[in-house]
């Protein structure tokens, strides 16, 4: 990770450690970088945060000042930006969003011309330009100054693409959607309505400050209750920029990313559509998933946390399904990034083609109890290098043996250390997590 760009773009609190000047300079550099031998064409999308408009205008100012033409998708999802970039010949795309973070945070995600996350070497060049005292990039003048184009049609084409992927009508299916007061508000309901579902929507009135607030995939309990109370067949919850999805079955059970990978992987294998008979996971996936995949004869690979790493593995090895427990699921046949609405459609496909309720599709997967605690710390690297903290972690690993595991890692975007334990019981999970956190506290790391 660089100084500004982490695993998921440049993220921080709006006008604190991610400012309009940062956005302006990102725009200035990208307009120059992609416009060296032609007039750059760059597309921008944003989520519903109040600061997203501010950053959009700052980026546009920088891009057009460097001579780029800018096409505005307005409020849309991250995967829609990726789709538009790779299918309509743009030099790159920018998504303004901090995903599942609170409304006061924001982020700038840059997507290259192939629809993938921007290369690290280009991010390094952007960071060097941001920190440079002298502005060496020339300003465009006269007819070379860029223009701004309303490009809502790009988002509409993406919606049409999603609709085209459905294998059956959703007629008579009662589907609940928790739109997290975010990007999905402009996409998801239209897709499900067009496919014939009886669509029930909650958290679809963004006001600039309520994105992810007690709603969406980070507060799935809201949708759980809604599905049961309204006797729905299934529910889907998205995060702020709709690149992740969690589901709820008709009984109100949470269907997290691991279970989605299992359901879709088993279905794909049964239809000879699981490339290399392999699913790509991250180190955060549950032991229960691996045991269930073993029982079905499905192989798996593990990457570092981040859909970026999942996708890199999939592209390198030709795998077709991969994702994270958090709900970033990638279907490489259809997309180059996690796509929450696409994931919903894939789950609907399995339900409809199998003629089964969602609860029946995951009954063979037994999830191990898991506890994840996010600990706010002074210095993430100091924690990871602390010998006494590492000694306690090693002791826990030894005691868990093959019947559990512990994972301690840094957040890529926040000042947090994430301590996760899986074990046979919730009591053991709590005991081991607290043992590690207490040692961190004794060493003076915890804020």
Place of tokens 């990102």: 26
Report how far apart, in Å, the C-alpha atoms of 189 and of each of 179, 208, 252 are.
9, 20, 21
For residue 243, say whether it is annotated as part of any ligand binding site: yes
The residues that bridge with 372 in the sheet, in sequence order, are 420
Percent of the chain scoring above 90 in pLDDT: 91
For residue 241, say whether it is annotated as part of any ligand binding site: yes
Among candidate residues 51, 52, 82, 99, the one labeled active-site is 99
The residues that bridge with 111 in the sheet, in sequence order, are 93, 117
pLDDT beyond 90 at 402: no
Q: DSSP of 100-157, one letter per residue?
A: TS-TTEEEEEEEETTSSBPPHHHHHHHHHHHH-SS--SPPP-GGGS--EEE-HHHHHH
| Domain 166-361 indexed as CATH 3.40.120.10 | yes
pLDDT beyond 70 at 432: yes
Domain boundaries of the chain, sorted by first residue: 5-154, 166-361, 370-442
pLDDT in tens, 110-141: 999 999 889 999 999 999 999 998 898 999 99
Which CATH number describes the domain made up of 5-154?
Answer: 3.40.120.10
8 A C-beta contact, residue 369 and residue 425: yes
Is 99 annotated in the active site?
A: yes
pLDDT beyond 80 at 7: no
For residue 239, say whether it is annotated as part of any ligand binding site: yes
Q: Are 5-154 and 166-361 the same fold in CATH? A: yes
For residue 307, say whether it is annotated as part of any ligand binding site: no
pLDDT, position 8:
80
pLDDT in tens, 327-370: 999 999 999 999 999 999 999 999 999 999 999 999 999 899 99
pLDDT beyond 70 at 60: yes
Pick from 224, 172, 183, 180: which is nearest to 348 by CA? 172
pLDDT, position 1:
60
At the second CATH level, the architecture of 370-442 is: 2-Layer Sandwich (3.30)
């Amino acid at each position: 990770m660089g100084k500004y760009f982490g695993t998921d773009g440049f993220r921080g609190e709006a006008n604190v450690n991610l400012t309009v000047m940062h956005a302006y300079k990102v725009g200035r550099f990208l307009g120059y970088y992609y416009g060296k031998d032609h007039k750059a064409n760059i597309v921008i999308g944003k989520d519903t945060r109040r600061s997203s408009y501010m950053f959009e205008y700052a980026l546009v100012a920088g891009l057009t000042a460097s001579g780029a033409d800018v096409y505005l998708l307005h409020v849309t999802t991250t995967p829609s930006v990726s789709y538009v970039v790779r299918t309509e010949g743009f030099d790159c795309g920018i998504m303004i969003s901090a995903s599942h973070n609170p409304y006061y945070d924001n982020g700038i995600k840059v997507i290259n011309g192939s629809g993938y996350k921007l290369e690290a070497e280009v991010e390094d060049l952007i960071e060097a330009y941001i920190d440079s005292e002298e502005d060496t990039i020339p300003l465009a003048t006269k007819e070379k100054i860029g223009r701004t184009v309303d490009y809502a049609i790009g988002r509409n084409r993406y919606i049409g693409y999603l609709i085209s992927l459905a294998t059956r009508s959703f007629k008579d299916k009662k589907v609940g959607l928790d739109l997290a007061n975010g990007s999905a508000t402009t996409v998801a309901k239209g897709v499900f309505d067009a496919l014939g579902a009886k669509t029930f929507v909650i958290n679809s009135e963004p006001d600039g400050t309520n994105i992810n607030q007690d709603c969406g995939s980070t507060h799935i309990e809201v949708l759980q209750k809604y599905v049961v109370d309204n006797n729905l067949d299934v529910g889907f919850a998205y995060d702020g920029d709709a690149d992740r999805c969690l589901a709820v079955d008709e009984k109100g059970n949470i269907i997290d990313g691991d279970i989605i990978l299992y359901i879709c992987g088993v279905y794909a294998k049964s239809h000879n559509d699981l490339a290399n008979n392999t699913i790509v996971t991250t180190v955060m996936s549950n032991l229960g998933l691996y045991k269930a995949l073993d029982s079905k004869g499905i192989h798996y690979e593990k990457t570092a946390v981040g859909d970026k790493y999942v996708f890199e593995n999939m592209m390198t090895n030709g795998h077709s399904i991969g994702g994270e427990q958090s709900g970033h699921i990638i279907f490489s046949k259809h997309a180059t990034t996690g796509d929450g609405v696409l994931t919903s459609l894939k789950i609907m496909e399995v339900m409809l083609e199998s003629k089964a309720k969602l609860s029946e599709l995951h009954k063979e997967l037994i999830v191990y109890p898991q506890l994840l605690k996010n600990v706010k710390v002074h210095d993430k690297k100091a924690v990871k290098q602390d010998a006494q903290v590492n000694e306690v972690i090693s002791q826990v690993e030894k005691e868990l043996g093959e019947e559990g595991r512990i994972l301690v890692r840094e957040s890529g975007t926040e000042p947090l250390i994430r301590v996760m334990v899986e074990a046979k019981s919730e009591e053991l999970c709590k005991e081991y997590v607290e043992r590690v956190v207490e040692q961190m506290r004794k060493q003076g790391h915890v804020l």
